[in-house]
Structure 1
Amino acid sequence: MKNKLQIVWSSIAIISVCACSTPYTQPDAPIKEVPFTQVHLDDNFWSPRIETNRTVSIPSAFKECEKNGRFDNFAIAGGLMKGEHRGDFSFDDTDPYKIIEGASYSLAVKYDGKLDHYLDSVIHIIAAAQEPDGYLTTCVTNQCTRLSGWWGTRRWEKINSHELYNSGHLYEAAVAHYRATGKRTLLDVAIKNADLVCQVFGPGEGQIHRPSGHPIAEMALVKLYKVTGDEKYLQTAKYFVEETGRGTDGHKLSEYSQDHKPILQQDEIVGHAVRAGYLYSGVADVAALTHDTAYFNALTRIWENMAGKKLFITGGIGSRPQGEGFGPNYELNNHTAYCETCASIANVYWNHRMFLATGDAKYADVLERALYNGVISGVSLSGDKFFYDNPLESMGQHERQHWFGCACCPGNITRFMASVPYYMYATQGNDVYVNLFIQSKADIETESNKINVEQTTGYPWDGKISIAVTPEKEQEFALRVRIPGWAQDAPVPTDLYSFTDKAQAYSISVNGSKVNAKQYDGYATLVRNWKAGDVVEINLPMEVRRVKANDQVEDDRGKLAIERGPIMFCLEGQDQADSTVFNKFIPDGTPMEASYDAGLLNGVMVLSGTAKEIDRNGKVKDVPFKAIPYSTWNNRGADQMAVWIPEAAEYARPTPEATIASKARTLMIQAPIQKDAPESASVETWAWGVNDQWEPKRSSDISKPYHYWWLKNGTVETLAYEFDQPYTVSNVQVYWLDFDHYDG
């Protein structure tokens, strides 16, 4: 077999040599996560964001649920009120579940009596909606025929009904709430529903034989198994994994849902990006608990395809708005990049699980890249506005929103931000892994010791890190410190991206004495007899680096990205003298100065230097430029933005002379999806690509802005041009996009 994966079970390396599954019986993965409640952050980067999540994001998301009928749907299902089911999707139930999960994580770290009481009240409404046998999906219980296209006419009729997706998020919320409060109110609801799911789905006679549809039940059932110890939850999660791609019940196999072939036969990541990240996270959970190396070999093949051909430099995944998913290998267009916020979060989940199974730092490298760039770009610094998609280029048509009709991302952000410390450390036996660098104090329990680990650092702006190690008892063990790929000439652990220069050497010292620690799987491994007072100092030089994409990435040819440490930078219009970014190019080797601006965007590192600007007549002049962290763009209003900057004039785009069309404000007049629903009233939104003077290369070119109507086919739609004054228009032409959607 070409792709082998070493799985570390304690100190033993087991390599699969057969194509069939090889089950083991040990109950847990070899490397154990450190609970985020044992890690206490005290930094200027993550701590304010997590506090904003607690005080702003979570309350505002709950208010949106109240406003948009999410809780009303449960109340109607439970007979607590009368009314019509609201919302446009069968999975709207998951919005409260995700926010409850985030609120529970927040409660576990910082108790808030008011929030605790609020959770009790909404859990009461959710519990009331559960049917006697445990079933819980409100649009089905409420017999919302308007949404029958999703769920059909009866329970479990359609694979894309999202009933199991709803259940999965219920389980995750319930486990989080139980662990945070000790209350079983939501856990009992989840267990009752899970018992029903285990009864209904499976390989047995009379059961439904199909996978979960939209994955998350796999991960969630594993969490429920770990809390309850009930083996049937793990077995049902395993069943959903094994049933994927088999079509036992005769349903149409689909790349969109990664259901096109059995997972053991997959080697390319395709379809809906969030579903992929959730599915492969669930597969990793099941494989770790059953010690199934065949599944890990499959996951490795799929991961290598993702990291080597389909990963954006921001850590985002999913290149296409249509299908919210992956395109062909190396299709990484910047302006039309989708990079859904939920997909970046799913990418973190998957990479963390791959690290736990292998102890390989390459997974933590991708995790960190997504964490500092693709994930947190999804939420405003104010905490109350969100991106659904996160492009790497914008002409000013993108802006964060308070909420969405399909509101999966805001809730996902609330639960993820509250749990960031979870990804910092791990243990294996008596050894400790350090994956992330954040000023903090952690109380870590190993196999036979308790260790206080205190980090002092200005990361991600400063690469100097001090780690004080204080074990309860003096003991020999290994402290495994990740040396990031960006500090070793590898932006990502594949040939998809590379730096244009060589990195300065990093250094490590223990108690003031420099050491040459050997690296194993990307970790500087410090083995010694540790005692109170020991201090490790790491210096990761943070130069400004230029990144080049693999030449097969067409949209990045002739362009370079700018990186410093784990942070990707971008040009935003208002930071440039002419408020324009696309007419600029920055040759490789251009000096750049990094300086911290405490008054800008809550305090950020800013890069500045001299760029070159080309006008429509081909004249080039030197102009100053400023770059900000990509994650902070669009916090000062809609604007032009670019991550990949041309390095030569031929790749820059001079500002064309204005035309009548380009002077107009273009609008899409969108009719309500749901009749008479206040949250679905007619809206006017920016129509992309219809007057930007950006000509596509061909009718199938999706690298440039284009307009389409999501979920519409054969309907009459309206585009409007709003002019500042009367004009005479003599001719109108339409350039039609020739493009096939996913099969989902």
Structure 2
Amino acid sequence: MKQFIVSCCMLSSVAVMAQQKDYPIQAVDFTQVKLTDRFWLPRIETNRTVTIPASFARCESTGRVKNFVMAAQKNGKFCTTYPFDDTDIYKTIEGASFSLAVHPDPKLDAYVDSLIHIIKDAQEPDGYLYTARTINPAAAHSWAGKERWEKERELSHELYNAGHLYEAAAAHYTATKKRNLLDIALKNADLVCSVFGPDKKHVAPGHEIVEMGLVKLYRLTGKQAYLNTAKFFIEERGHYTGYDTKSTDPWKNGAYWQDDKPLVQQQEAEGHAVRAGYLYSAVADVAALTNDTALLHAIDRIWENTVSKKMYVQGSIGARGDGERFGNNYELPNATAYNETCAAIANVYWNQRMFLLHGDSKYIDILEKTLYNGLISGIGLDGKSFFYTNAMQVKGHDNPMGLEEERSGWFECSCCPTNLARLIPSIPGYIYAQRDNKLFINLFISGAARVNIGHTPVQIIQQNNYPWEGALSFTIQPQKTVDGDILIRIPGWARNQAMPSELYHFQSADTNQVTIKVNGIPITYTLENGYASIDRKWKKGDVITVDLPMEVRRVTADQRIKDDIDKVALQRGPLMYCAEWADNAGKTDNILLAPGTAFSPVFMPDLLNGVMVLKGTVSKVVIENAQKAATISNPFVAIPYYAWANRGKGEMTLWFPEKLNYLTIN
């Protein structure tokens, strides 16, 4: 036991000494935040009690665990579909580890250890860990190639598996201080670093995340090879000579894998949206840790392109179903929108890192929009039903693209459910961040947090009913009086900005002002990169109150988004709203939202686990016969977009025409 404790301490101290460069802003770890709110806390608890156990159970029932058992025995036949199915176990272990960090559970802890034992037995002596080959190398998965790493560039996902292993191992070690999974990951990472590099094997990983995982291991161990290899994988993009550089096909020219040109030359978000989001997150990590300004400028450009030309109004990315990828600029169709849930998760990772680099609230505006809309729409209110894709419109006819209209308990490719299992328990870690004597308050979620202002420990207590109401309260409890700057994000939507770009606009300006008081006295504050900056000497019991206007806003789109011409979407606070069949007489594609239509927010505690709905009276077009249609007034109800498809299958729409000539009725 003494030897174990020493090794853990040495691991931490080496890492601290090694990292002299890093993000200028540091997030407050989720373990330092204890939630009491009624929106996110129930979801995190459902994730702990329902999603994670269901995920583990499905990993067992579908053969994902069996693949590891057979790999240990070197006998059998890979029994699932995809060579990356190993990652579903890794991701669920990561989510379970985050949960264990704040909610000790001996039974869960023991079960995770039993899985780690199975994983260890499946690892080959030199550290290689990939069940699709190890079970029977002579008859490896068709995507794997005859030799290790042979098809890594496009199909095998060997390094993708490794990346999720590293992420899980970092989470598990941090939560439990056990080295059992970490040692497996380090052994594999050492093998990867011995195989790939400037004077070794050259490849740009086909599905990125190994870069993020290597950075996590570098942070834990301080081993420079891990950071160097992560940077190598990024810089290796765009140098493969086997692509057809004259082709416009992204699979032939390498754009699908973000591999058509060096990263520092890329101008747009391209290719598979999840891979891209993981790549851009890793680029931010490496840029921060190496002070690489060329990489930094590249992801700044790509972020601007994404937010100004390639993002849906509810924060989703990846418009095209063929290849789960970004489309062209302004290619954002509604009926065929793909919007993979994993892409929303990658978008959260990326925007958090962009904030840590730059300290601008626009990145948290996108993170918040994605979290409250296009991300949690991917999981049902029951915690065990999911969307892989997130539609913008469901019409009353057969879906020509085969996109999802009903939630599923699992998928043959089940990356999204297990990705949600690992993201949701970490959400408290996105609320606060620190830099010197500055404390950033980014998200509005009730609870208590232990933070620092300068070197002084401070407890901060948030109280609110967000996202339903805009009244926010922050009680400051410093250990002693402290001079510091508290920066409270004033969301873009509260500053008449629908998105930090020209892609979407509010149809009219809201003249209501954000008001801030300290100890009941209104203050004049400066706005600094979207933050209300309040610099003063803070004493125990100081209270900041913020009142954000929660008006119902009409959102319009850039006219180059063809599907949204002369249409409006509805937003209140951070939430986008949609109309669903269950509240609107079974049909939503016949609704007109004429200018001037008024909406009343009404909280419905017994609907969809408690939601604020928007009620009004709208025009509906009714087909009376083949020759005649009539326009009638009808009650209208809109629900938060995230909550749709929890009451069965039927029509849904997020964008509403204002004019009759843009209405298409089925």
Category of TM-score, reference length = shorter chain:
over 0.9
Q: Distance in 2 between matches of 1:304 and 1:200?
A: 35
Q: Specify which of 100, 116, 119 is matched with residue 107 of structure 1.
A: 100
Question: What per-residue deviation string (whole Å, max 9, x for no partner) do you get for residues 676-720 of structure 1?
Answer: xxxxxxxxxxxxxxxxxxxxxxxxxxxxxxxxxxxxxxxxxxxxx
- Partner residue, 2:210: 217
Change (3 A) 1:513 1:306: same
Q: Secondary structure at the match of 1:376?
A: helix
Specify which structure has the higher proportion of helix. Answer: 2
Tell me what 2:15 maps to: none
Q: Deviations over 1:378-411 (max 9, x none)?
A: 0000000110000111136611111111110010
In the alignment, what sits opposite 1:444?
Answer: 451
Could you tell me which of 549, 553, 560 is aligned with 1:545?
553
AA matched with 2:80 = G
Secondary structure, aligned partner of 2:257: coil
**Match of 1:528?**
536
| Structure 1 residue corresponding to 2:49, chosen from 52, 55, 72 | 55
Once the two structures are superposed, residues 467-486 of structure 1 have per-residue CA deviations (whole angstroms, 9 ceiling, x without a partner) of: 11111121111101100000
* Aligned residue number for residue 712 of structure 1: none
Determine if contact 2:19/2:219 at 8 Å carries over to the other structure: no
Distance 1:271 1:224, change over 3 A: same
2: CA distance, partners of 1:194 / 1:431: 36
Alpha-carbon deviation of 1:140?
Answer: 1.1
Task: State the match for 1:724 in structure 2.
Answer: none
Provide Cα deviations, 1:417-454, integer angstroms capped at 9, x if missing partner.
Answer: 01110110000012100000011100013441111111
Name 1:663's counterpart in structure 2.
none
TM-score (norm 1): 0.83
Structure 2 counterpart of 1:476: 483
> What is the aligned partner in structure 2 of residue 710 from structure 1?
none
Contact 2:462 2:475 (8 Å CA) reproduced: yes
Kept in 1: contact 2:50–2:383 (CA 8 A):
yes
Q: Give the Å deviation of 1:618.
A: 3.2
The 5 A counterparts of 1:151-190 are 151-158=144-151, 159-160=153-154, 161-190=156-185
Q: Hey, what does 1:501 align to over in structure 2?
A: 508
Equivalent pair of 1:89/1:147 in contact (CA under 8 Å): no
Q: Partners in 2 of 1:309 and 1:404 — Cα distance?
A: 30
8 Å Cα contact 2:72-2:135 kept in structure 1: no
Please give the alpha-carbon distance, in whole angstroms, between the structure 2 residues aligned to 1:355 and 1:483.
14
CA drift of 1:145 comes to 6.9
| Distance (Å, rounded) in 1 between the aligned partners of 2:504 and 2:242 | 42
Structure 1, unpaired ranges of 5+: 1-23, 656-744
Residue 117 to residue 516, structure 1, CA distance change in 2 (3 Å):
same
- 3-state SS of paired residue (2:142): helix
1:78 counterpart (49, 69, 72): 72
Alignment RMSD (CA, Å)? 1.5
Task: Provide the residue aligned with 1:293 in structure 2.
Answer: 293
| Contact 2:133/2:139 (8 A) holds in 1 | no
Pick from 195, 198, 202 the counterpart of residue 197 of structure 2: 202
Deviation at 1:151, TM superposition (A): 1.0
Partner of 2:247: none
Give the Cα–Cα distance (whole angstroms) in 2 for the partners of residues 409 and 301 of structure 1.
28
**Aligned pairs, number:** 628
What is the aligned counterpart of 1:565 among 573, 578, 585?
573
- Rate the CA distance shift 1:591–1:211 in 2: closer, same or farther, 3 A: same
1:515 equivalent among 519, 523, 539: 523
Deviation for aligned residue 1:82 = 4.8
* 1:576 alignment counterpart: 584
Give a deviation string over 1:645-687, Cα, whole Å, max 9, x none: 11121112234xxxxxxxxxxxxxxxxxxxxxxxxxxxxxxxx
Letter in 2 for 1:426: A
Q: 1:152 to 1:401 in 2, by over 3 A?
A: same
Q: Deviations over 1:590-632 (max 9, x none)?
A: 0000010000000000101011011232321111110000000
Residue 570 of structure 1 contacts residue 628 of structure 1 at CA under 8 Å; is this kept in 2?
Answer: yes
Task: Rate the CA distance shift 1:144–1:380 in 2: closer, same or farther, 3 A.
Answer: farther
Deviates more, 1:510-519 or 1:591-600: 510-519
Rounded Cα–Cα distance in structure 1 between residues aligned with 2:649 and 2:452: 47
Partner of 1:117: 110
1:359 aligns with 2:359: yes
Question: Is 149-158 or 62-71 further displaced after alignment?
Answer: 149-158
**1:325 alignment partner AA:** R
TM-score, normalization by structure 2: 0.93
What fraction of aligned residue pairs are identical, expressed as a percent?
A: 52
Structure-2 residue corresponding to 1:698: none
Q: Say which of 20, 24, 34 aligns to 1:30.
A: 24
Equivalent position to 2:231, from 232, 238, 242:
238
Partner of 1:684: none
Counterpart position of 2:83: 90
Paired amino acid for 1:636: R
1:660 match: none
Q: What runs of 5+ residues in structure 2 fail to find an aligned partner?
A: 1-17, 245-251, 397-403
Q: Residues of 1 paired with 2:308 and 2:454: CA distance?
A: 36
The residue aligned with 2:270 is 270
Equivalent AA in structure 2 for residue 67 of structure 1: S
In the TM superposition, 1:321-360 aligns within 5 A as: 321-360=321-360
* Alpha carbons 1:385, 1:402 under 8 Å: kept: yes
**Alpha-carbon deviation of 1:502?**
1.1
Letter in 2 for 1:361: S
Contact kept? 2:454, 2:484, Cα under 8 Å: no
Which position in structure 1 is the counterpart of 2:12?
Answer: none
Structure 1 residues 415-430: aligned runs within 5 Å: 415-430=422-437
